[in-house]
Structure 1
Amino acid sequence: MLRFTLLWLLVFFLSLVSSSARPAPFAMRISCGARQNVRTAPTYALWYKDFGYTGGIPANATTPSFITPPLKTLRYFPLSEGPENCYGINRVPKGHYTVRIFFGLIKQPDFDNEPLFEISVEGTLIHSLKSGWTSHDDQVFAESLVFLLDGTVSICFHSTGHGEPAIISIEILQVDDKAYYSGPERGKGVILKTTSRLTCGTAKPRFDEDYSGDHWGGDRYWEPIRTFGQNADEPRSTENSIKQASDAPNFYPEALYQSAVVSTDSQPDLAYTIDVDPNKNYSIWLHFAEIDALVTDAGQRVFDVLLNGDTIFKEIDIVKMSGDRYTALVLNRTVAVSGRTVTITLHPKEGHHAIINAIEIFQVIAAESKTSSAEVRALQALKRSLGLPNHFAWNGDPCVPKEHPWSGADCQFDKSGRKWFIDGLDLSNQGLKGFFPDDISKLIHLQSLNLSGNTIHGVIPSSLGTITSLELLDLSYNSSMDQFLKA
């Protein structure tokens, strides 16, 4: 009887632990251009076969960097298919996500070896490829932290006339809702674009998975930097365990804090400079752990942290602030940067020289408000019924990003509703041969509609008369159209 009772208690306890354990985060990895699911070494990660695309052509891929997922295919988007092409992924649980896109090169000699294009996520422009990106490991992908709230995610590629966008993979990886929270201004209307992630004092590039990191961390990529400059610093490393590293909400891998750089007598200030886009806000995350055997107690290493010459943290004492040696300490500050560089300087104040383990820099981007979903559906119905030419594309959001609106569509922003709407359409002289859809009436803000110079046939739907804002309607030179309203 006692044995049965103990066994029952053990089963009950295990059930409580199982029921309270956090479920695995949502993860969707797409191998673009692939016709079947694949798994890749060394972690046996599952990549789903290609789906959700609006167009494009699958092709064999050349990977520009050793950090690129070892996938054999890609999807590229010819300029003949229009300036915007997208992936639309449905059934994404509401939450906070890392969205990462790896670029590729088409494995054919007659294609442009380095296409330049722009990327948007949920209508917000997050990245513009720069010339020479194939030569830099940290430029072969774009990554952002974004809240997805309506069960879908739209990722679009915007041609700039310099080659054809080519995408190897897309990752949608759930992270903690409070990950990288830095204050009230850091809400669901903000996107963090990864500018740089550095692991200091080592020459080994790593993903979180390589560190056996928690999956809720989003499998971040850490670019190695063994030194900030010749004779400027010295590496430090340890095999000791690091406390408070893998805690919520950011779940940093413990091994991130097991290497560092320390300044020297010849260069007491420890400084790192990175190029950035000017006139932007940046969120800076600095990682510390006292792993130097020479420092055994509080007060033995104290330094200030400056950003572009301005002190942002005073008298940093890692042991005192973290509570112990071999204990992680993370500091964050969001700053406005007017110039084209960010310089982080650690200036010793007392005791030993400065030390740092890792650096993260994000560009803070205000998320764009999207176009009314009803009006987007009406435009998509119009696209199908009129048979718009490929060069129109009409993929993604009609009004955002503002740098890439749909051709022929005029947009206005409703400040009270925080939505964009369509107030004008000019599709004149485009060789359209389709017909009017009834859904045209859902463009309730339309003020002008010009479809002249086409061969649109059929009748004008009476629902067009319900658009009370319509002031200009030009259907001239459509010889196949019955000019009477549909009864």
Structure 2
Amino acid sequence: MRFLLQFFLLVLPMQLLHVYVHAEPDNLGFVSIDCGLSGPSYVDDRTNISYVSDDGYIATGEKHEISSEYKSRALYTSDLSLRSFPSGGRNCYAVAAAARGRKYLVRARFMHGDYDGGERNLASTPVRFNLNIGLDFWYEVTVSDAARTYTREAIAVAVASSVSVCLLDTGHGTPFISSLELRPMGIDMYPEAVANRSLGLFTRLNMGANNFLRYPNDVFDRFWGTPVYITEWLNISTNGTFMSYYSTDHIRVPTDVLRTAITTSATSVHLNITVYAASVGQLPPPTERAYFHFLHFASFEQQQRQFEMYFGKVKWKHNNISVHESYSMQPSYSSKGVYMLSNVSLVATDDSVLPPLLNAIEVYYSIPRDDTITSPDDVDAIMAIKTQYQVKKNWMGDPCLPKESKWTGLQCRQDGVESKIISLDLSGNHFDGTIPQALCTKESLNLRYDTNDGDLCNGKSPKKKNISVLTVAIVTPIAAVLLVSAILFFCFCHKKRKQQITLGLVHQYSVQPTGISNSVSHVDIKGHILMSDDHEFTYEELVKITNNFSECIGEGGFGPVYLGKLQGSIQVAVKMCSRKSVHGQGIREFLAEVDSLKTVHHKYLVLLIGYCTNKNHLALIYEYMSNGSLFDHIRGKKANVQTMSWLQRTRIVHEAAQGLNYLHSGCVLPIIHRDVKSHNILLGEDMHAKISDFGLSKCYINEAQTHISVTAAGTIGYIDPEYYFSSRLTMKSDVFSFGVVLLETVTGEPPIVPGVGHVVQRVKQKVSDGDISAIVDPRLEDAYDMRSVWKVTDIALLCTKEVSDDRPTMTEVVEQLKDALALEEARHIDGYSDNGQGSIKPDSSANWAPLAR
């Protein structure tokens, strides 16, 4: 769960300031880079995996193609081209699709193919260079055959929001690379790969198989090779279907791998596997490095196999028990040990009916992480500057370390085990505009910039070209974000100062801004955005409705909200678009919300009554929800707000779930709300709940669409981490956010408590301890059905699963909450009383209104 905490406390502040470092994973989450590719992106015809050029990942090196005589020897299209690095001691790829704390399989491939015209006799004088993950030595690549493709894999935890792979020239020929691939792994997979240690693949073998295997047979795209067989082995296989994995299986061996195995002819014959190989000479000696052995087993027969494992002469001592498989087609069983490289022997016990069996084996070596690194916060901020604004400097690898490879224009200072960036020179990049004054007055980072276009801090007119220095902070994640925001301001504020909501600006936002049908047609000569129906109010009418905006009842990111009255008695809420919003995201949100609510109607969605399109006074008019929000009642501090009972809480979240489910499954094309939180669940006079605030909503454009590719947005604490890191928005993103609301409802606590962690993390820990009462809001004073609380907690934890495919649909959530509500209602029928506000019968109809559009 650590990456979730880092996500909510560190990365999202960057999201809120609209600063993005974005790579383009495909729909599998894979990043596949064809190094040296000159043509367009393509889909490999053997794997159906999409590959892109490395132009966006590195600015150094030379592009080449392998010689024509070797092209028939290339296994994949990505082997046909390469990038070489004849100059520079260190050349690094920074793959910015990583999520800090997430685990990845990293793979590099190298095919020489005499790209240089055979300038070097590789057989007698191999090309050798070092391969690093960041600052850490991964492998010494030794290329002695132009026709061979060399592959290196590692499993690493990203310490920053990018993974850096570096080629280091050691003076033995020109480094080169053919392809670089990044594959996200499950957070629980290969637990030996941790923040301070990566795992380098030594060997991975599919025993009993005749063919190499990778994606799509392995959803994580691991390479499974075939061994060189010895005469004592017998190949066996099955076409059966395996059961699901054990909960303790952290490897997830593909079914196709488990269907083949090797065994021996009799129980008296040992099954011996040699894992020592000559290539180990390219690594430190085994005595200086830990090797992790993973052996994978799956029984084929119902007869008993029982055997013991030996690494050399050392018996495997995990709990001092033998491996025992006794039933046909059980899930795979993976055993691991940390040993020096040696022979592995499987020896049948006296009680075993059948000889030993082995389906697959993996061996990894440890890649210790360097204790000293540049602060990940600083790395993320500086990479954002480099990537977003195409800084024309040779910046690659770790910004501060090693010192001889420090980035030009940076000064760093050692602070414990971390290096901090204390000076940044951005001169020569021709930024213009004005730096926000708050940034100009910050301390502890010297920022240098050109003043030939004017003093960016003091707003002075340009004179002659010179350099100015200002001091800003980069010592915290927020301050690092301010620096990146300043660069954004450099580039664009000069133009923005000249723009109001003119014809051109409105036209910019009127072309399908949200993916929802857009009813904006044009701007009339009076400066109004013309809509397609008759729910429009004039500004003069708004003044009258709100009594000259005399009673402000709230304020959000869009702007202030005022109480109003129609026809003297019908209360409404008038949400005005602030001047700041008009020049930012506000107009997008205005159009999105109007388009959503004009076409979507449901008893558990807030009703849009009308809008005002005066260019200086954009406004939305809603039905008034007199009892505020769910937030107000479970976490807010408003006066005269009573503690909400558990019966009311379950009823409200059940109704809100129905409204959200209607958006997902009751509309002709699904709508994703994108900002589900307790603030946006509003309560009417009768305490019925309604979903509100559709300013960030997105709609599918056809029935076949599986996701929407869009830069992540939402509210800190509620946003789905998978959506944030992949930019793949799905209905399951709303499910995650709603799961956070459910946990908030149970605990009465905010999503994030500084220094303690995210509510998902906190609740999981208490649930694992078996103490459900410890998570319940103490203000409920034990007045609840414990089974109802368990059911809500359980569905909430399912909603907040890290992998979106593991989460339920909102339809399933509605059903579970219906059961939880019934349990609590039964408690009241049996003689208990509800001491909270109201007592409304639930309405379980999820599709109260006709289909939208």
- Normalising by structure 2, we get a TM-score of 0.40
Amino acid at match of 1:357: N
* Deviation at residue 462 of structure 1 after TM alignment: 7.8
Distance in 2 (CA, whole Å) between partners of 1:110 and 1:344 is 41
Unaligned runs of at least 5 residues, structure 1: 1-22, 382-386, 424-433, 435-440, 445-457, 465-487
Partner of residue 52 from structure 1, selected from 52, 57, 76:
57
Q: Which secondary structure state, in structure 1, belongs to the residue aligned with residue 184 of structure 2? A: strand
1:88 corresponds to which residue? 94
2:262 partner SS: strand
Distance 1:412 1:236 in 2: 60
What residue in structure 1 maps to residue 544 of structure 2? Answer: none
* SS of the residue 1:71 aligns to: helix
Shift of 1:79: 2.9
Aligned to 2:257, the other structure's residue is in SS state helix
- Is the alpha carbon distance of 1:222 and 1:119 closer, same or farther for their aligned partners in structure 2, counting shifts above 3 Å? same
* Percent identity for Structure 1 against Structure 2: 19
Find 2:160's aligned residue among 128, 142, 150.
Answer: 150
Structure 1 residue 60: Cα displacement: 0.6
Aligned partners of 1:316, 1:65: CA distance in 2, in Å?
48
Match of 1:175 in 2: 185
Aligned residue pairs, count: 388
Whether contact under 8 Å (1:26, 1:93) holds in the other structure is no
Change (3 A) 1:358 1:26: same
Cα–Cα, structure 1 residues 135 and 246, in superposed 2: closer, same or farther, change >3 Å?
farther
238-247 vs 172-181, which moves further? 238-247
Q: Using the TM superposition, give the Cα deviation of residue 24 of structure 1 relative to its aligned residue in structure 2, in angstroms.
A: 5.9
Which residue does the alignment assign to 2:33? 30
The alpha-carbon deviation at position 93 of structure 1 amounts to: 3.8
- Runs of at least 5 residues in structure 2 that lack an aligned partner in the other structure: 1-25, 387-391, 423-427, 429-443, 448-464, 472-853
Which of residues 107, 116, 126 is equivalent to 2:138?
Answer: 126
For 2:72 and 2:334, how far apart are their aligned partners in 1? 31
* 1:352-391 Cα distance to aligned partner (Å, 9 max, x none): 322111000111222234224659969x99xxxxx99xxx
Q: 1:268 to 1:187 in 2, by over 3 A?
A: closer
The match for 1:449 is none
- Give matches, 1:53-452, under 5 Å: 53-61=58-66, 68-71=75-78, 73-80=80-87, 82-94=88-100, 95-105=102-112, 106-112=114-120, 113=122, 114-130=126-142, 132=144, 140-182=150-192, 186-209=193-216, 212-213=217-218, 215=219, 218-225=220-227, 227=229, 229=230, 231-244=231-244, 249-265=250-266, 267-275=269-277, 276=280, 277=283, 278=286, 279-291=288-300, 295-298=301-304, 301-313=305-317, 316-320=322-326, 324-337=327-340, 341-350=341-350, 351=352, 352-368=354-370, 369-372=372-375, 374=378, 395-397=396-398, 400=401, 405=405, 414-415=415-416, 418-420=417-419, 442=445
Compare 38-47 and 305-314 and name the one that shifted more: 305-314
Deviation at 1:197, TM superposition (A): 0.1
**Pairwise CA distance, 1:285:** 0.8
Counterpart of 1:98, as a letter, is: L
Quote the Cα distance in structure 2 between the aligned partners of 1:108 and 1:443. 45
Query: Aligned pair in 2 of structure 1 residues 125, 405: CA closer, same or farther (>3 Å)?
Result: farther
Equivalent residue for 1:42, pick from 41, 46, 65: 46
Q: Distance in 2 between matches of 1:65 and 1:149?
A: 39
SS in structure 2 of the partner of residue 130 of structure 1: strand
SS state at 2:349 partner: strand
Q: Deviations over 1:17-76 (max 9, x none)?
A: xxxxxx964111111111310121223221012221130111113679968432364343
Aligned to 1:473: none
Deviations 1:401-449 (A, max 9, x none): 79x855999998643xx313699xxxxxxxxxx9xxxxxx8589xxxxx
Structure number with greater CO (CA < 8 Å, separation at least 6) is 1
Once the two structures are overlaid, the 10-residue window that deviates more, 87-96 or 366-375, is: 366-375
State the SS of the aligned residue for 2:258.
helix
Pair 1:249–1:262, CA change in 2 (3 A): closer
What SS does the corresponding residue of 2:226 show, helix, strand or coil? strand
Q: Deviations over 1:239-280 (max 9, x none)?
A: 222223598753321010111111245843423232344211
Q: How far, CA to CA, are the matches of 2:412 and 2:311 in structure 1?
A: 40
Q: 1:116 Cα shift? A: 1.5
Q: Distance in 1 between matches of 2:159 and 2:405?
A: 23
**Aligned-pair Cα RMSD in Å:** 4.3
CA offsets 1:188-247 (integer angstroms, 9 cap, x no match): 3221111110011222111142xx33x3xx2010110262x2x32211122222223598
Structure 1 contact 303–317 (Cα < 8 Å) conserved: yes
1:177 alignment partner, SS class: coil
Residue of structure 2 in register with 1:5 after alignment: none
Counterpart of 1:419, as a letter, is E
Q: Which residue of 1 aligns with 2:765?
A: none
1:282–1:335 Cα contact (<8 Å) kept: yes
For residues 28 and 111 of structure 1, the distance between their equivalents in structure 2, rounded to whole angstroms, comes to: 33
**Measured at CA, do residues 134 and 333 of structure 1 come closer, stay the same or move farther in structure 2, by a change above 3 Å?**
farther
Task: Note closer, same or farther for the CA distance 1:366–1:180 as it changes in structure 2 (3 Å cut).
Answer: same
Cα distance between partner residues in 2 of 1:67 and 1:330: 36
TM-score, structure 1 as length reference: 0.67
- Contact 1:115/1:166 (CA < 8 Å) preserved in 2? no
Compute the displacement of 1:165 (Å).
Answer: 1.6
More strand by share: 1
What is the CA–CA distance in structure 1 between the aligned matches of 2:186 and 2:243, rounded to whole Å?
A: 20
Q: Return closer, same or farther for 1:72/1:262 CA change in 2, 3 Å cut-off.
A: closer
C-alpha contact (below 8 Å) 1:65/1:134 kept by paired residues = no
Looking at structure 1, the residues matched to 347 and 28 of structure 2 have their Cα atoms a distance apart, in angstroms, of: 40
What is the rounded CA distance, in whole Å, between the counterparts of 1:125 and 1:148 in structure 2?
A: 16
Cα pair distance change 1:191/1:159, threshold 3 Å: same
Question: Larger Rg: 1 or 2?
Answer: 2
